[in-house]
Amino acid sequence: MIPMSVADLAAAVDGRLVGADPDALVTGPIEFDSRKVRPGGLFVAFPGEKVDGHDYAAGAVADGGAVAVLGSRQVDGVPMVLVDDPRAALGRLARAVLDRLPALTVIGLTGSSGKTTTKDLIAQLTVRLGATVAPPGSFNNELGHPYTALQADADTRFLVLEKGARGLGHVRYLCEVAPPRIAVVLNVGVSHIGEFGSVEAIAEAKGELVEGLPADGLAVLNADDPRVRAMTARTAARTVLVGEAADAEIRAVDVTLDDRGRASYTLVTPDGRAPVRLGISGRHQVGNSLAAAAVARELGMPLAELAEALGALGLPSTRRMDVFDRTDGVTVIDDSYNANPASTAAALRALAGMGARRRTIAVLGYMAELGEYERDGHAEVGRLAAELGVDRLLVVGENATPIHDGAVSVADWGGESVLVSDQQAAIAELRRELRSGDVVLVKGSRYRTWEVADALRAEAARSEGGSR
Ligand SMILES: Nc1ncnc2c1ncn2[C@@H]1O[C@H](COP(=O)(O)OP(=O)(O)O)[C@@H](O)[C@H]1O
Ligand SMILES: [Mg+2]
């Protein structure tokens, strides 16, 4: 972060100094976990139901060396910047810092699937052009967002942030905290539809990202998703369509996949064409990489370098299309970080592609947060697995049963679906069943499902690095 005096910082967040030296310099980091506080840092105390950050305020100063504490109530003997709402104050502080960094370009992205993946792709390109700050993993909410933004300083050229939404106004708020000049909208699907109510509301919420762009900004929009394409009308900025549609300005043609599901394509841009060979698995990475390419092009990366850089991209955030081979000849696709119908469809297509001449097994768990769409969303995924010709389906947990129902409803499917009660049962079943040559996909909503992927990883060590 950029150094700020306590007085300066208090002014930025509309706070009141209590017992703090106004001239003392905060040099960062800014932390809300008191164990991470370092000398020169600021501790932000959130009032919580279970844990109250203010209980750790004294320790953050005495042991951690915090210059002051940003909080909502006074703590005896602790130098404080007092505010009504520390969360909002954190956002205001991030904004104040960004406003003092004119050489910094903020790149924001949103979508229903692929934000973290594409954030990582973009950051791998921008780091070639200048110092880049991007968070590890998601960090896409009202805490993670300002937390990441506050790591930018005078040397930072690019700040890459994913903007998540669980309701209308969320993306707009995150854009107030860190206003992007370049915005990327990947897709509009049904993730979190339980909170939103309808796909239209999700489109409305995602589009907030482009509404706030300045006239000299750029909106990178997925030409292949009609709801994203329509966002052209919602921005004052220039727009660039990316995708496989014929009118996309940044486009992929002649897409082919290798036996690991890695795409090769010809990149078509207004500057010419170049061959691209991705090292990351999944057909859906074509669109993600095109979005990243549009950002890098806007920032000045020449076409030849761009094509080469796209080929060098990896997937640093874990459990997203992590493909690895086991010593026993089984290939595992660990895509267990999270699941919704669209990302599960993408993963199933990758499985089917990689398993064209191998036995394919999909271990599919419950997809959370689908609300009223829950039953249909699961059934749709089951049907797709069968239609793609997946050989074995292992449906994990009773609440995922509609996946099984969907699969067995496909009359001419030659495969088989098995319902198992939980992750341990799935692991036991796989242990019995797996044989050399199999390709196994593991997919579901988070923690519980990834136990299966972890077991597959532990039981036979990797014989070869995956796509990460
Ligand atoms: N463009 C895409 N379309 C569909 N699924 C995708 C896409 N990009 C990534 N995914 C898959 O979606 C899941 C979530 O990916 P992630 O990058 O963490 O997205 P988010 O941050 O939006 O939740 C992973 O399984 C990933 O492989
Ligand atoms: Mg994410």
SS (H, E, C) the chain: CCCEEHHHHHHHHCCEEECCCCCCEECCCEECCHHHCCCCCEEECCCCCCCCHHHHHHHHHHCCCCCEEEECCCCCCCCEEECCCHHHHHHHHHHHHHHCCCCCEEEEEECCCCHHHHHHHHHHHHCCCCCEECCCCCCCCCCHHHHHHCCCCCCCCEEEEECCCCCCCHHHHHHHHCCCCEEEECCCCCCCHHHHCCHHHHHHHHHHHHHCCCCCCEEEEECCCHHHHHHHHHCCCEEEEEECCCCCCEEEEEEEECCCCEEEEEEEECCEEEEEEEEEECCCHHHHHHHHHHHHHHCCCCHHHHHHHHHCCCCCCCCCCEEEEECCCCEEEECCCCCCHHHHHHHHHHHHHHCCCCCEEEEECCCCCCHHHHHHHHHHHHHHHHHCCCCEEEEECHHHHHHHHHHHCCCCCCCEEEEECCHHHHHHHHHHHCCCCCEEEEECCCHHHHHHHHHHHHHCCEEECCCC
Ligand 2 centroid to 114 CA: how many Å? 7
Q: Residue 447's pLDDT is what?
A: 62
Measured between alpha carbons, how far is 47 from 85 in angstroms, rounded to an integer?
9
Q: Does 305 score more than 70 pLDDT?
A: yes
Ligand 2 centroid to 141 CA: how many Å? 10
Among 75-79, 422-426, 460-464, which is the least confidently predicted range? 460-464
Decide which of 130 and 450 is more confident.
Answer: 130
Ligand 2 centroid to 7 CA: how many Å? 35
Ligand found nearest the CA of 337: 1
Sorting pLDDT into bands at 50, 70 and 90, what band is 468?
Answer: very low
Which of 109, 110, 113 to probe ligand 1 with, by most ligand atoms within 8 A of CB? 113
321-363 pLDDT, tens digit per residue, is: 999 999 999 999 999 999 999 999 999 999 999 998 999 999 9
Ligand found nearest the CA of 109: 1
**Quick one: average pLDDT of 425-441?**
96
Task: Decide: 115 in ligand 1 pocket, CB within 6 A.
Answer: yes
Q: Residue 463's pLDDT is what?
A: 46
Sorting pLDDT into bands at 50, 70 and 90, what band is 467?
Answer: very low
Q: Residue 349's pLDDT is what?
A: 96
Ligand 1 centroid to 340 CA: how many Å? 9
Task: Decide: 186 in ligand 1 pocket, CB within 6 A.
Answer: yes
Instruction: Kindly report the pTM of this predicted structure.
Output: 0.91
Q: Is residue 380 a contact partner of residue 410, using CB atoms and an 8 Å limit? A: no
Ligand found nearest the CA of 320: 1
Q: Residue 371's pLDDT is what?
A: 87
Measured between alpha carbons, how far is 320 from 165 in angstroms, rounded to an integer?
20
Percent of the chain residues past pLDDT 70, beyond the cut: 98
Percent of the chain residues past pLDDT 90, beyond the cut: 88
218-259 pLDDT, tens digit per residue, is: 999 999 999 999 999 999 999 999 999 999 999 999 999 998
Task: Decide: 320 in ligand 1 pocket, CB within 6 A.
Answer: yes
Ligand 2 centroid to 176 CA: how many Å? 20
242 has which bridge partners? Answer: 222, 250
Task: Decide: 113 in ligand 1 pocket, CB within 6 A.
Answer: yes
Q: Residue 460's pLDDT is what?
A: 67
Task: Decide: 346 in ligand 1 pocket, CB within 6 A.
Answer: yes
Task: Decide: 163 in ligand 1 pocket, CB within 6 A.
Answer: no
Summarize the annotated binding site as residue ranges: 111-117
Determine the atom of ligand 1 nearest the C-alpha atom of 111. Answer: 22
Sorting pLDDT into bands at 50, 70 and 90, what band is 292?
Answer: very high
Q: Residue 35's pLDDT is what?
A: 94
Q: Does 374 score more than 70 pLDDT?
A: yes
Among 331-345, 433-447, 450-464, which is the least confidently predicted range? 450-464
| CB-count exposure of residue 2 (10 Å: 0-12, 13-18, 19+) | middle
Summarize the annotated binding site for ATP as residue ranges: 111-117
Q: Residue 28's pLDDT is what?
A: 87
Q: Residue 22's pLDDT is what?
A: 97
> For ligand 1, atom 16, which residue shows the shortest CA distance?
114
**Single-letter amino acid code for the residue at 386:** A
Ligand 2 centroid to 140 CA: how many Å? 7
